[in-house]
Homo-oligomer: A and B are copies of this chain.
Amino acid sequence: MGVVQARMEAALQRFLPATDIVPERLHRAMRYSVLGGGKRVRPLLAFAAGELAGADPARVEVVAAAVEMIHAYSLVHDDMPCMDNDILRRGKPTCHVEFDEATALLVGDALQPLAFQIMAEHVIADSSVEQIEMLKILALASGSRGMAGGQALDLAGVGKSLSLPELEFMHIHKTGALIRAAVVLGARCGHGLDAQEHGRLERYAKTIGLAFQVVDDVLDCDASTATLGKTAGKDAAQEKPTYVSILGLARARALAEELRAEARAALSSFGAPAARLRELADFIVLRKF
């Protein structure tokens, strides 16, 4: 585990309610769903963007944990029988399999306000006005015009043939919105960037968000369940339109590579302080799981 992941794990441990607090089973299920797994891509991005903006890591860990809670809740709900009906996540039984469906529903419902709570409880910005702005960014990224909306578009696409722009539009919401929020919120914990620099960072975020999804689609078709820690091949089985189904494997791989170059280009003016963000663009595209 890397330094950021270890720090993140400790922070999430602290922010999640302890299992001896009532309702114990719900708190156990919340911790089961958030702790001890995942690549922590969004926290890594938040910390890298925070580093670029000269942010105090103690602030970044709060927004990174909030984003990760939103991400974790979305996975719990996405795995439920009425959505993707999946039994494996991060190499473990999914929440509704390990506990039960009603508990999985409530785990998601309770993780979401916890994300807003910790961002309201801790110092994450120089001013309260800025803190409220950051809360708004998380809310927008999570809602019907962000991640939840992307899920709805994903559902609507099952069994249909989407065009490439339609697929992109869906992913910009479903995965892109929260990845963008991770980068933007990480950067806003600091105060070293001007408006133009924030703009470049947003372009980076949008590009790697898409790259992340393209690679996900490639891996879903290419890698094994054991490597992924979640069920492989399920996109094709569920007749979901993917970058691979629309472009074919070779062109999807090439697109990921283009997006990596574009993401790195967006960072060019930042020089050395953006080293970690560059590494993450490489990691997101070159990963095997």
Contacts and interface: CB of A to CB of B under 8 A. Distances in A.
Contacts of A81: 82
Interface string A47-90: 00000000000000000000000000110010011110000000
Please give the count of copies of this chain that the complex contains: 2
Highest count of chain B CB atoms <10 Å: which of A131, A151, A152, A156? A152
A132 interface: yes
A109 B72 CA distance: 13
B143 A114 contact: yes
Interface residues of A, number: 55
Contact of A145 (B21, B144, B146): B21
A26 to B, nearest CB: 4
Interface string A84-122: 000000000000000011110110111011101100110
Given A105-B80, A120-B136, A17 B145 contact: yes
Given A25-B152, A144-B110, A152-B26, A120 B135 contact: yes
A23 B128 contact: no
Contacts of A139: 113-114, 116-117, 120
Contact of A135 (B27, B106, B116, B155): B116
B83 A102 contact: yes
Contacts of A153: 22-23
B131 A23 contact: no
B148 A121 contact: no
A74 to B, nearest CB: 8
Contact of A144 (B23, B132, B151): B23
Given A112-B112, A135-B135, 7 more contacts: A22-B149, A82-B102, A103-B155, A105-B105, A110-B148, A113-B142, A117-B143
25 contacts: A17-B144, A17-B145, A23-B149, A23-B153, A25-B152, A74-B109, A77-B109, A80-B105, A82-B100, A82-B102, A83-B105, A103-B155, A106-B151, A106-B152, A108-B109, A110-B149, A113-B140, A113-B146, A114-B144, A116-B139, A117-B143, A120-B139, A128-B129, A131-B132, A135-B135
Interface of A: 17, 21-23, 25-27, 30, 73-74, 77, 80-83, 100-103, 105-106, 108-110, 112-114, 116-117, 120-121, 127-129, 131-133, 135-136, 138-140, 142-146, 148-149, 151-153, 155-156, 169
Q: Which 5 pairs show the lowest CB-CB distances between chains A and B? A: A128-B128, A82-B101, A117-B139, A110-B144, A26-B152
